[in-house]
C-alpha cells in the first residue's frame, strides 16, 4: 500500500503498475511456506523412526490443521486477525482501525498485520522495518492467499509462530508452559498462548504473570465478542488463575548424546556450511533405539557390578553391522553428564592382544597354516624380549592354539616371519585408521587405536573379508524432502582380504570363544572374537562378532591407571549385551572353512632380518636354539610363504606391554597336544557339536589376567550371567574340509574360583 502511494506521488499509475508487476514476478513460490524450516534447524531420527534430537530454532512438534482444537484457532483469530476468513491477505479495514486506535492513544496499541502477512514475514522476509520490506510483505501475503487454502495458511502459521521460552509453534507452547498436548488445552490456556504472539517476552507467564494475565483476559473478551465462546465459558476462563508448569522443549536434549554428537561431527564432513545453515535438515541415522537402550543398561550394570573391585571407572560399547557399516548402538562412557569424552571414537588406547587378529590374518593370507608350529620359549630379538602371562612357556604350539590362548612370544616370532609392512597394510584395509608403528611390539598391540575402528575392522572378517566403513548417517534430506547425501555401502565396500582367509580366521577366533580366553562371551550360537589386555591391565577389551553384528567392549580408566580387572570381564559384558538382542537376530552360520593346504597366498610376506636373536631350546625339540628367524619355529615339511629381502621398517626393541595378556602355559594349555609337522596341508578341523556329559557350572566373576588380586579384602562381586560352556577344543582334521558345525554345545565349566586360562 505504501509502495503504491509512493509510486503515484513520484510519477503516476503506469509506473506504479510496472513496479508492482516486476516485484510480483520476483516473489518466491508460495509452496515454500509448506516446507519451510528456520535456518540451522536439524532433526535427527533413528533407523526405526524415533526422533533423537532437534537442533536449532526448530518446531519440536507440528500439528495438522484437522488436529488443532477449535478454541485454539479461534483464540488466535480473535487476538491476531479477526477478519482472517474474509480478507485476501491484507485487511485494509483493519489497517484503518489500527491507525485510528494508535492516533487516539498516541502510541502503537494495535497492529494491522494479518496472520497471512505474519506467515509471509516468518518464511520469506526479515524483521527489518522498511518501506521496501513492508511492500514485499503485502504482495507476498496476496500471493499466499491466491495459491494456498486458508487452512494451509493457518496450519503453517500455528506451527511456526514463536511464542517464547524456546516454543516454536502452538504444540511446543502447550508442552513448555503447561506440560499438555494440544487437545487438553482449556479456553484459558489457549487464550494465554495466543496472547503471547505479539510480544512473547513481555507477556511471558514465567517472567511477568500479571502482564500475562491481563493479555490473556483481553484475548478471552475478544473471543466472546467474536462469538467464539459463550458468556459462561468466558466467565470460567477469566476466573482461572495463571498456573504454568515449565518444561524443557521436547527433543532439545538427546537421550543418546554420545551418538548424536558423533552424528553432528559426521554431518559437518558431509555437507557444505551453506547446506548446514539452510536449516530444515532431516538426518536419518543408523541407530537402533531398542539396542541402544540395552547397550546403555549393559554399561550401567557393568559399572555397578565390576567397577569397585576391579578398579575400573569407565566402560564403552559399540555395535556395528558389518554388512553395511551401520552403527547400531554406541555408548561412549558410563555418564555423559560427568564426561562428554566419547571413548568409542576419541579414546586412543593400546588394543593389547586384540591386535593379534590382524597379525594372524596377514599370516593366513600369506599362506601360513593354522597348524604351523612355533616354540614358545624365551625369545629376545634386537634387545626386545616379549613376555607371556606369568612368565611361563608352553613349548611347541601351533598358531591355532597360540591365538586361542593368546601367547605373546609366538605372536612376536610370527611378525618377524610375516613382516611389519604387510601387517600394517592389511590392518589398514580392514579398517584400522590410526597410525601403526613398525616395531616388534606391534604384534602385541602397542600402537593405539580406538574402539570404533577396532570393532569395524573385526567386522571385515564377519563380512567375508569385505570392509565397509562404519558410519552413523544413512541419508540427509532438506526441507523439501530432497536427498542431499546418501550412504552407498556397496560403493564404499572394499575387499580387504580374500574370503578364504576371512573364513579361516573366523574359525580360529571361534576357538577363542569356544575353548580359549573368550569363553565368557559364549551365547549359544556361532561367535568369533578375541580378548585383549594392555600393560598392567590398563585396557581390557573383547571384540566379537556373529555374521550380522560386530560388537566391541572396552574397560579402563581415563587416566590410564592400572586396574585389577580382566579382559574376561569384557567378554562377560559382551555376553550381557548380545544375549539381550539376539532374539532380534536370526541364527546364521559362518561360511564353511576352506581347505587349509594348497592355498595360494594373497599377501606377500616380507620377513624381518633382525640384527640379533637369542632363543632358548624347546623342551620337546633340540633344533630351536637358532639365531636366525628363518630357522625359528619352522616345520620343514610345511609349505612356506614367499619371502623377500626383508621389511623396510626395522624393529626397534620398543618396550612392549610386559604385563599384557598372553598364553600362560598353565594346565589348560599344556594338556593339549600340538599336531605333528605333517599336518600343514590338512583341512580345517570341525568343532564338536556334542555337549559335555556334565551340566555347565555358572561363570563366576572373571579373575584378573596379569595382576594378583588386591590384598585388601573386597566385597564379593556379583557374578556375570551364567554362560553356557563351549564345545570341546577342535579335534584333529580329517582329509576333507567340512564346514565347522554350529557352536551348540556349552563351554566346559570354569574353576570354582571363577578363573580360567589367563591371557
With 50 as the cut, is the pLDDT of residue 127 above it? yes
- Angstrom distance (rounded) from CA 95 to CA 106: 16
Rounded to the nearest 10 degrees, the angle between the axes of helix 209-225 and helix 187-196 is 110
In angstroms, what CA-CA distances link 15 with 12, 232, 627? 6, 56, 100
Beta-strand relationship, 281-285 and 42-45: parallel
Q: What percent of the chain has pLDDT over 90?
A: 64
The DSSP-derived string for 297-325 is HHHHHHHHHHHHHHT--EEEEEEEETTTT
Residue 445 CB coordination number (10 Å): 32
The three three-digit cell numbers of residue 602, written as one number: 594373497
* Beta-sheet strand order (sheet of 549-556): 326-331, 314-321, 549-556, 539-546, 528-533
Residue 290 CB coordination number (10 Å): 16
Q: What angle do CA 625, 629, 634 make, to 5 degrees?
A: 75
* Beta-sheet strand order (sheet of 51-55): 51-55, 42-45, 281-285, 473-477, 483-486
With 60 as the cut, is the pLDDT of residue 3 above it? no
Q: What is the pLDDT confidence band of residue 53, given thresholds at 50, 70 and 90?
A: very high
pLDDT per position as a tens digit, 14-40: 666 666 666 676 788 988 889 888 888
- Angstrom distance (rounded) from CA 19 to CA 37: 30
The three three-digit cell numbers of residue 474, written as one number: 544413512
- Angstrom distance (rounded) from CA 718 to CA 178: 44
Q: What is the pLDDT confidence band of residue 741, given thresholds at 50, 70 and 90?
A: very low
pLDDT at 759: 53
Q: What is the pLDDT confidence band of residue 569, given thresholds at 50, 70 and 90?
A: very high
pLDDT per position as a tens digit, 273-327: 989 888 889 999 999 999 999 999 999 999 999 999 999 999 999 999 999 999 9
pLDDT at 617: 76
Q: Is 548 helix (H, G, I), strand (E, B) or coil?
A: coil
With 70 as the cut, is the pLDDT of residue 653 above it? no
pLDDT per position as a tens digit, 434-455: 999 999 999 999 999 999 999 9
When pLDDT is averaged across residues 71-91 and rounded to a whole number, the result is: 93
With 70 as the cut, is the pLDDT of residue 215 above it? yes
- Angstrom distance (rounded) from CA 277 to CA 543: 39
With 70 as the cut, is the pLDDT of residue 738 above it? no
Q: Which residue has the higher pLDDT, 635 or 4?
A: 4
pLDDT per position as a tens digit, 691-731: 333 333 333 333 333 333 333 333 333 444 444 444 443 43
When pLDDT is averaged across residues 550-562 and rounded to a whole number, the result is: 96
When pLDDT is averaged across residues 244-259 and rounded to a whole number, the result is: 91
pLDDT per position as a tens digit, 324-361: 999 999 999 999 999 999 999 999 999 999 999 999 99
pLDDT at 106: 64
**Pair 555, 314: CB distance under 8 Å:** yes
pLDDT at 99: 66
Residues known to be catalytic: 80, 353
- Angstrom distance (rounded) from CA 208 to CA 215: 11
**Pair 447, 437: CB distance under 8 Å:** yes
When pLDDT is averaged across residues 489-504 and rounded to a whole number, the result is: 94
**Pair 457, 432: CB distance under 8 Å:** yes
Amino acid at each position: 500500500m505504501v509502495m503504491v502511494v509512493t509510486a503515484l506521488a513520484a510519477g503516476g499509475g503506469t509506473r506504479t503498475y510496472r513496479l508492482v508487476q516486476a516485484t510480483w514476478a520476483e516473489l518466491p513460490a508460495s509452496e515454500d511456506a509448506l516446507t519451510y524450516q528456520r535456518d540451522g534447524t536439524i532433526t535427527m531420527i533413528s533407523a526405526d523412526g524415533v526422533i533423537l534430537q532437534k537442533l536449532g530454532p526448530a518446531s519440536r512438534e507440528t500439528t495438522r490443521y484437522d488436529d488443532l482444537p477449535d478454541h485454539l484457532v479461534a483464540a488466535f483469530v480473535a487476538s491476531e486477525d479477526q477478519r482472517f476468513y474474509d480478507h485476501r491477505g491484507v485487511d485494509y479495514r483493519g489497517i484503518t482501525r489500527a491507525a485510528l486506535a494508535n492516533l487516539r492513544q498516541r502510541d502503537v496499541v494495535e497492529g494491522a498485520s494479518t496472520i497471512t502477512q505474519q506467515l509471509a514475514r516468518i518464511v520469506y522476509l526479515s524483521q527489518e522495518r522498511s518501506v521496501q520490506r513492508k511492500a514485499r510483505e503485502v504482495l507476498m501475503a496476496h500471493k499466499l492467499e491466491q495459491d494456498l487454502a486458508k487452512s494451509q495458511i493457518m496450519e503453517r502459521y500455528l506451527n511456526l509462530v514463536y511464542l517464547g521460552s524456546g516454543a516454536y509453534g502452538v504444540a511446543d507452547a502447550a508442552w513448555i508452559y503447561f506440560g499438555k498436548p494440544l487437545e487438553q488445552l482449556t479456553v484459558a490456556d489457549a487464550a494465554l498462548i495466543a496472547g503471547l504472539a505479539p510480544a512473547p517476552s513481555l507477556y511471558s507467564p514465567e517472567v511477568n504473570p500479571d502482564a500475562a494475565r491481563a493479555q490473556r483476559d483481553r484475548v478471552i473478551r475478544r473471543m466472546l465478542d467474536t462469538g467464539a465462546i459463550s458468556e459462561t465459558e468466558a466467565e470460567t476462563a477469566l476466573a482461572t488463575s495463571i498456573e504454568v508448569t515449565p518444561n524443557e522443549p521436547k527433543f532439545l536434549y538427546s537421550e543418546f548424546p554420545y551418538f548424536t554428537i558423533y552424528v553432528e561431527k559426521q554431518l559437518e564432513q558431509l555437507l557444505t556450511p551453506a547446506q548446514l545453515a539452510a536449516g530444515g535438515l532431516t538426518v536419518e541415522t543408523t541407530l537402533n533405539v531398542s539396542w541402544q537402550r540395552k547397550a546403555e543398561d549393559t554399561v550401567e550394570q557393568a559399572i555397578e557390578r565390576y567397577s569397585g573391585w576391579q578398579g575400573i571407572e569407565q566402560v564403552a560399547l559399540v555395535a556395528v553391522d558389518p554388512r553395511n557399516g551401520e552403527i547400531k548402538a554406541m555408548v561412549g562412557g558410563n555418564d555423559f553428564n560427568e564426561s562428554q569424552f566419547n571413548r568409542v571414537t576419541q579414546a586412543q588406547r593400546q588394543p593389547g592382544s586384540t591386535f593379534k587378529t590382524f597379525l594372524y590374518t596377514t599370516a593366513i593370507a600369506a599362506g601360513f597354516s593354522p597348524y604351523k608350529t612355533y616354540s614358545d620359549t624365551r625369545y629376545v630379538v634386537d634387545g626386545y624380549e616379549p613376555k607371556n602371562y606369568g612368565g611361563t612357556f608352553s613349548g611347541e604350539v601351533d598358531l591355532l592354539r597360540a591365538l586361542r590362548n593368546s601367547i605373546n612370544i609366538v605372536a612376536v616370532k610370527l611378525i618377524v616371519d610375516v613382516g611389519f609392512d604387510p601387517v600394517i597394510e592389511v590392518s589398514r584395509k580392514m579398517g584400522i585408521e590410526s597410525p601403526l608403528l613398525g616395531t616388534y611390539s606391534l604384534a602385541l598391540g602397542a600402537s593405539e587405536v580406538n574402539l570404533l575402528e577396532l570393532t569395524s575392522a573385526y567386522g571385515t572378517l564377519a563380512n567375508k573379508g569385505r570392509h565397509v566403513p562404519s558410519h552413523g548417517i544413512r541419508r540427509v534430506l532438506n526441507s523439501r524432502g530432497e536427498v542431499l547425501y546418501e550412504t552407498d555401502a556397496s560403493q564404499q565396500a572394499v575387499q580387504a582380504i580374500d574370503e578364504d582367509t576371512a573364513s579361516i580366521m573366523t574359525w580360529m577366533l571361534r576357538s577363542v570363544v569356544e575353548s580359549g580366553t573368550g569363553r565368557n562371551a559364549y551365547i549359544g550360537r556361532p561367535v568369533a572374537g578375541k580378548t585383549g589386555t594392555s600393560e598392567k591391565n590398563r585396557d581390557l577389551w573383547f571384540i566379537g562378532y556373529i555374521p550380522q553384528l560386530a560388537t566391541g567392549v572396552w574397560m579402563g580408566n581415563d587416566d590410564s591407571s592400572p586396574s585389577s580387572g580382566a579382559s574376561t570381564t569384557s567378554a562377560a559384558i559382551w555376553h550381557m549385551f548380545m544375549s539381550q538382542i539376539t532374539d532380534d537376530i536370526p541364527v546364521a552360520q559362518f561360511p564353511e572353512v576352506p581347505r587349509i593346504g594348497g592355498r595360494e597366498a594373497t599377501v606377500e610376506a616380507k620377513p624381518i632380518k633382525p640384527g640379533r636373536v637369542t632363543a632358548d631350546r624347546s623342551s620337546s625339540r633340540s633344533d630351536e636354539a637358532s639365531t636366525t628367524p628363518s630357522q625359528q619355529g619352522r616345520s620343514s615339511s610345511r609349505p612356506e610363504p614367499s619371502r623377500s629381502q626383508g621389511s623396510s621398517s626395522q624393529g626397534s626393541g620398543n618396550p612392549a606391554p610386559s604385563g599384557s595378556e598372553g598364553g600362560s602355559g598353565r594346565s589348560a594349555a599344556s594338556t593339549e597336544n600340538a599336531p605333528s609337522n605333517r599336518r600343514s596341508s590338512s583341512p580345517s578341523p570341525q568343532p564338536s557339536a556334542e555337549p559335555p556329559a556334565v551340566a555347565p557350572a555358572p561363570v563366576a566373576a572373571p579373575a584378573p589376567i596379569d595382576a594378583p588380586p588386591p590384598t585388601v579384602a573386597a566385597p564379593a562381586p556379583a557374578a556375570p550371567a551364567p554362560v553356557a560352556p563351549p564345545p570341546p577344543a577342535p579335534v584333529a582334521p580329517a582329509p576333507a574340509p567340512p564346514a565347522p558345525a554350529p557352536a551348540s554345545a556349552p563351554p566346559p565349566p570354569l574353576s570354582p574360583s571363577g578363573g580360567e586360562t589367563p591371557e
